[in-house]
Structure 1
Amino acid sequence: MKKSNRLTLYIVLGMILGILTGYIIFNSYANDEAAIKKIADNLSILTDVFLRLVKMIIAPLVFSTLVTGVAKLGDIKAVGRIGGKTMLWFITATFVSLFLGLILVNILQPGHSLNLPVPDSHASAGVSGTDMTLRGFFRHVFPDSVIMAMANNEILQIVIFALFFGVAIAAIGEKGLPVVKLLDAVAHIMLKVTSYVMNFAPFAVFGAMAAIISQKGLGILLTYGTFIIQFYGGLILLWIILSLAGFFVLGRSAFNLLGRLKAPLLLAFSTATSEAAYPRTMEELEKFGCDSKIVSFVLPLGYSFNLDGSMMYMTFASMFIAQAYNMHLGLEQQISMLLVLMITSKGIAGVPRASLVVIAGTLSMFHIPEAGLLLLLGVDHILDMGRSATNVIGNAMATAVVSKWEGSLAKEPEALQEV
């Protein structure tokens, strides 16, 4: 069995064992919430360690790969051309994701069918809204210290600095070659470090699933079952749309790419963070036949600008809360909400629970009680698993499509090697 397939198998086993362990703990300590919380906290250590290790490698990996990718593109015209194609796909995918969420939530009306008492409109959800002003958006996008940006894992700010740095290296020509070689070596070293970190993934998955099930029990899946099924049905529909868009450009090899992504998808799904899958996604894209320069350029941008699963969730969740409070938003207000989310969501890469942060800010702008977020907090982790996996598909498909548009994708016989 190939190493990547073994890792996938171990992740699945970790997920299954985690669910079983959580179920046993939940039933064994049904009347002792303090004991359950203590056990869940201890189990979460496995996940916390893994996620901290992932965050440890993300900043140097994104910086080194993106700078190398930009520098190897050769000139500002190439950067502009590829960047333009990339942003065209990202903006289109973002709009489709937000619009799909808006359509589904209006058709399914999950806020009216949940039949749960809504929280008091003045209650606090414990989630602070992001600064929705234009000035606040740009202050978050552009770093005042690249060291601070790396320390806080502000991916978007790291991307901005890396773009400037890479273009400057390309502009000075041969004098920049030693730096390119150095950062290329750093990128390969970080990928090797990544392979070590990924070996811990099955334990992290076990801890994450055991912790959430031991605290919430399987009953929470029944209480919110309809809402969860509707949202995941929407995600499946989004997967189909992204796959068909990829098929339109890539042909049958688009489905081969999806097959290659099974390990990154499982990793993102089980840990509820697409960052955890970033290194493996990069590796699988290069094996698929994408030019390493394109991968190093497009994928980091995707983690800042193209979180398709999170986009769909934002319109779906915002309208769900409005429905729960029997608030009617007209078509004009809903389109305004879509446009607001389209802009503000681009400045929150790297923010913990970023989707909830943006939703909180959007609710206040449209005078929807922020306390409605309390309806989602109990199942947000379960929902985050699906949207994190969707983010991986969206970014991988975008990278492959841009590679195809640039004529840098390996020919089909090479790309269709055994997965």
Structure 2
Amino acid sequence: MAAPIAEHASHPPTKSRLYLIVLAAIAAGALLGWIAPSTGEAMKPLGDTFIRIVKMLIAPIIFCTVATGIASAGDLRKVGRVGLKALVYFEVMTTVALLIGLGVVHLLRPGAGIHAQVETLDAGAVTQVTHGREAQGIVDHLVNVIPESFVGAFVEGEILQVLFVAVLTGLALASLGRRGRGATLALEHAARALFKMIGLVMLLAPIGAFGAMAYTVGHFGLGSLGNLVTLMIGFYATALLFVLIGLGAVCAMCGVSIFALLRFLKEELLIVLGTSSSETVLPRLMDKLEHLGCAPAIVRLVIPTGYSFNLDGTSIYLTMAAIFVAQALDVPLSLGDELALLGVLLLTSKGAAAVTGGGFVTLAATLQTTHAIPVAGLSLLLGIDRFMSEARALTNMIGNSVATIVVARWEGSFDRARAADVLAGRKHHANPPAPDAH
């Protein structure tokens, strides 16, 4: 098996203090946005620039890691087995997340009593946020997985399309055997260069987090939450319970403490908190999970795929936000309407962008498809969506970390002894796992 790619990722020299720097940047950004809102809003380019730089590198990183992961596995049956297990786990957990969100929003009823009128809502604001994305039927959604050209997937930055191209490339290289080894090595070298670039970009993480948080607080203001506080608190509480109880139970079955895992990933969690995007830590996350004891081939397949198919936080948000809008507009939904909404969300939640605002765009596209709830009602969420995106991104990241551990454990490719040492602080990242240690 080829040497792990992610372990060659370059980290900032301040890695041991990065989480403190990012935390300070988040606090400073929030303070600036609160004290001087106009100045805070002016910091928006800092956060946007950081996320754009990361997004620029994500598509080629996913392509290289997935393609080389499949090509280097040697046994295509194993690749198929790992992929099937991952997809089964993803579907189960995202369905559970959707159902939990549906149950909580019915229990809390945060939209009841608002009595908003569709005619008075700003539908144009929703269109501006979603960039006018047209509704897609189920068939169109599936067809859209296939890019119009090989490079089209990278130009558009659609993760599902990049995954499609990467899987085809990996399968082709694997079928060539030794003749495809040269191309596989070239992709591995390209991946190392990309990880090096990400390492350099991470030096800007505190600046990006500062700019994003300053803009969020400055533009929307803490007072803009109004009667939407119940929804936001309910969502945060639901996401937290899902992580601690749901994912915690799954971790326990793998012999890992969810609290120890969260401590281990504290730097990545703070970067995601500041930028509202789980994509910003994808290479670092892969690096850490390999160090934790997950086989590199498993990490390379599960993490990139999970970024499209395993968005637990987004799934919770989608059902809670959709039913909230229906409650606020006094739109009665029958059991059939809710089942239809759930069915569409089971599909559209796969491929929801893991970047800021991706969940909002996916929700708009879903409501356009079902027609049961007016899309204009999403304007009620504009003031708090950015605040809720942090919880979405954090839950998505943690969910994918747990998914990787589960699949590795399922495959017998998880080193529990190493994980115990790493989580207890007895084995530091300076000693990466050997290529075939798993």
More off after superposition, 177-186 vs 300-309: 177-186
Shift of 1:326: 1.3
Cα 1:220–1:25 change in 2 (3 A) is same
Shift of 1:111: 0.6
Shift of 1:42: 3.2
C-alpha distance after superposition, 1:323-351 (max 9, x if no partner) = 00112212232122111100122244468
Cα separation, 1, equivalents of 2:133 and 2:327: 20
2:417 is aligned to 412
Task: Give yes or no for contact 1:303–1:395 (8 Å, CA) kept in 2.
Answer: yes
1:300 is aligned to 304
2:102 is aligned to 102
2:377 is aligned to 372
Shift of 1:413: 4.0
Report SS of the residue matched to 2:349.
helix
C-alpha distance after superposition, 1:89-118 (max 9, x if no partner) = 1000110010000000110101115x4745
Task: Give yes or no for contact 1:23–1:213 (8 Å, CA) kept in 2.
Answer: yes
Q: Give the TM-score, by structure 2 length.
A: 0.88
Unaligned runs of 5+ in 1: 27-35
More off after superposition, 239-248 vs 121-130: 121-130
Shift of 1:3: 4.0
Shift of 1:400: 1.1
Cα separation, 1, equivalents of 2:243 and 2:355: 24
Matches within 5 A, 1:20-419: 20-26=31-37, 36=38, 39-112=39-112, 115=114, 117-120=116-119, 123-124=122-123, 125-126=126-127, 127=130, 128=132, 130-221=134-225, 223-349=227-353, 353-364=357-368, 365-417=370-422, 418=425
Cα 1:173–1:254 change in 2 (3 A) is farther
Cα separation, 1, equivalents of 2:36 and 2:360: 29
Shift of 1:361: 3.0
C-alpha distance after superposition, 1:34-59 (max 9, x if no partner) = xx2xx445311111221111012111
Cα 1:148–1:416 change in 2 (3 A) is same
More off after superposition, 177-186 vs 346-355: 346-355
Shift of 1:355: 1.9
Find runs of 4+ consecutive structure 1 residues off by over 6 angstroms.
none
Letter in 2 for 1:363: L
Task: Give yes or no for contact 1:309–1:391 (8 Å, CA) kept in 2.
Answer: yes
The one of 5, 21, 24 equivalent to 1:13 is 24
Cα 1:381–1:357 change in 2 (3 A) is same
Shift of 1:119: 4.8
Letter in 1 for 2:176: I
Shift of 1:171: 0.9
Letter in 2 for 1:385: E
Among the aligned pairs, what percent are the same residue? 38
C-alpha distance after superposition, 1:387-413 (max 9, x if no partner) = 011100111110111111111112324
C-alpha distance after superposition, 1:179-234 (max 9, x if no partner) = 11111121122111111111101111111111121222221245532221111011
Shift of 1:254: 4.6
Cα separation, 2, equivalents of 1:48 and 1:198: 14
Let me know the Cα RMSD of the aligned residues. 2.1
2:15 is aligned to 4
More off after superposition, 328-337 vs 77-86: 328-337
2:6 is aligned to none
Cα separation, 2, equivalents of 1:10 and 1:352: 22
C-alpha distance after superposition, 1:303-326 (max 9, x if no partner) = 111111111111110000000011
Task: Give yes or no for contact 1:121–1:370 (8 Å, CA) kept in 2.
Answer: no
Unaligned runs of 5+ in 2: 1-12, 429-438
Q: Give the TM-score, by structure 1 length.
A: 0.91
Cα separation, 1, equivalents of 2:21 and 2:259: 24
Letter in 2 for 1:96: V
Letter in 2 for 1:375: L
2:7 is aligned to none
Report SS of the residue matched to 1:378.
helix
